[in-house]
Amino acid sequence: MSKRFTPKVVTANALLEGDVVYFTEDGRWTRLHREAELIEDEAVAQLRLLDAQARHHQVVGVYLAEARPGADGPEPVHFREGFRAQGPSNYAHGKQVELKNV
């Protein structure tokens, strides 16, 4: 028996900056997890993954990450994804400085 599909977001790393990015419903990359498209259908997830992988001139390491609906958009399910969404941990820079809620 196959495992039930759980909601996902498409994530990767920006090719030039290395930042964690998320694929939006309108086909752009964002650095904010809450702006990512929350995909609840497995077939749609696979199509969005293929679309994102085709953008190899913009990103590397594209994959689907589990997420759940939240008050302000998708939220990470696993610790690793929560950690990635917060940005680098060595000191405050990048989106950690720009966003007070990260």
Distance, CA of 100 to CA of 102 (rounded, Å): 6
Lookup result for tokens 């966003």: 99
Percent of the chain with pLDDT over 90: 73
Whether the predicted pLDDT of 30 surpasses 70: yes
Whether the predicted pLDDT of 100 surpasses 60: no
Confidence bin at 17 (pLDDT 50/70/90) = confident
Whether the predicted pLDDT of 57 surpasses 50: yes
Confidence bin at 102 (pLDDT 50/70/90) = very low
Q: Which residue has the higher pLDDT, 95 or 74?
A: 74
Q: What is the pTM of this model?
A: 0.84
Q: In what order do the strands lie in the sheet with 20-23?
A: 29-30, 20-23, 8-14, 59-68, 75-76
Dihedral in degrees, nearest 10, Cα atoms 65, 19, 24, 80: 20
